[in-house]
Amino acid sequence: MSNENIVDINDRGNKDEWKKYTRGGIFIVITLVIIGTILSNLLIVKEGEFKVIRQFGEVVRIDSTPGLSYKIPFIQTVETLPKYQMVYDVNEAEINTKDKKRMIIDNYAVWKVVDPQKMISTTRTVESAEAKLDEFVYSAVRTELGQLNYDQIINDEKSSRGSLNDRITEKVNELLAIDNYGIEVTDIRMKRTDLPSENEQSVFTRMISERESTAQEYLSMGDAQKNRIIAQTDREVTELLAKAQADAETIRGEGEGEAARVYNKAFSADPEFYSLYRTLESYKKTINGKTVIILPSDSPYARMLMGYME
């Protein structure tokens, strides 16, 4: 065999081997593309979300059950909508109360998507849904607060804010249901009420005056209560003192009577000693260091002082 034949056989072998590797590489690439295409079109539906499948822009299916799903490659697209409750901070707005006072209201709303098909057909996106929600909340707040006076809104003692929030929530849901927006508000709360800057000082002055008036009223009530307590105490003290005085007089009278009885019994046993005792007692009351007494010589005092005793 010549060298030319050997080279030709080797060339054919190399070409066959190259073709074999080429076909294997193409097969692997096609396999990878197919696997990649399948994986890229598998959907994982998570808890708390809707998967919206569109075909040429139209919604053809909405998956809400957690798990794996799919879409047709190159024809269908997918977008995600939240199923859980969301909090939207409503833009603050200025409203007029029933008594023509201006105030700035700041609310927040808790809402969720209940029908993604209707929500997409009416508002298309979450941002558009929140814009519509903002509009309806403002309308409901303006209507409800426009029926209340300013002090009913800001004064906690007179406020009906609890039921007011419920009424606003109900009103917004009614507006959303009219055009089937597919969303629902679960709660709307008023988080802040402010005054326009030009009205703050006058309102603060009036509030201070009202608080001072209330404080003065409490002080007056306290003084009146104090006076009633003092009068009641004085009356009870007077009654107790009168009763004690009466009891003391009774006890004193009984003691003096008992003492007189004892004296009489003791003195009757020795009249002469009693006479001497009475005389000595009279000396205590009538004689002191400056006393001058002129007595007849035959008086009992003189005779006793001079030592003449019968």
Q: Specify the pLDDT at position 155.
A: 65
Q: In the numeric block, which tokens belong to residue 302?
A: 């003189």
What average pLDDT does the chain have? Answer: 79
Q: Which residues pair with 112 in a beta bridge?
A: 184
**pLDDT tens string 155-181:** 644 455 557 888 889 999 999 999 899
Q: What is the pLDDT of residue 174?
A: 92
Q: Which two tokens stand for residue 242?
A: 């009168």
The one-letter amino acid code at 58 reads E
Domains of the chain: 17-82 (no CATH), 86-194 (3.30.479.30)
* Amino acid of residue 57: G
What is the full DSSP assignment across 233-252? HHHHHHHHHHHHHHHHHHHH
User: By C-alpha distance, which of 153, 141, 81 is closest to 111?
Assistant: 81
Q: Which residue type does 265 have?
A: K
pLDDT at residue 53, rounded to an integer? 83
Distance of CA 171 to the CA centre of its chain: 26
pLDDT value of position 278: 74
pTM: 0.52
Determine the Cα–Cα distance for residues 103 and 95; give it in Å rounded to an integer.
Answer: 6
Tell me the residue ranges of DSSP E strands in the chain: 42-45, 49-55, 58-63, 67-70, 76-82, 86-89, 93-96, 102-113, 183-194
Task: Identify the bridge partners of residue 69 per DSSP, sorted by sequence position.
Answer: 43
Q: State the burial class of residue 24 (Cβ atoms within 10 Å of its Cβ: 0-12, 13-18, 19+).
A: exposed
**Nearest to 175, CA basis, from 133, 144, 128:** 133
User: What separation in angstroms does the CA of 197 have from each of 99, 148, 205?
Assistant: 18, 21, 14
Q: What's residue 158's pLDDT?
A: 47
Give the count of beta carbons closer than 10 Å to the beta carbon of residue 165.
17
CA-nearest of 180, 181, 192, 185 to 167 is 185
Estimate to the nearest angstrom the gap between the alpha carbon of 285 and the chain centroid.
Answer: 83
272-275 long-range CB contacts below 8 Å, 24 or more apart? none
Tens-digit pLDDT string for the chain (310 aa) = 555 554 455 555 555 666 666 776 777 777 766 666 665 566 777 888 888 888 887 888 888 878 777 777 778 778 888 888 999 999 888 888 888 878 888 889 999 999 998 988 888 888 999 999 999 999 998 888 888 887 777 764 445 555 788 888 999 999 999 989 999 999 998 888 777 666 666 667 777 888 888 889 899 999 989 999 999 999 999 999 999 998 888 898 888 888 878 777 777 777 777 777 777 777 776 766 666 767 677 776 667 666 655 5
The model's pLDDT over 229-281, given as tens digits with 9 standing for 90+, comes to 999 999 999 999 999 998 888 898 888 888 878 777 777 777 777 777 777 77
For the four alpha carbons of 292, 296, 301 and 306, in that order, the dihedral sign comes to positive
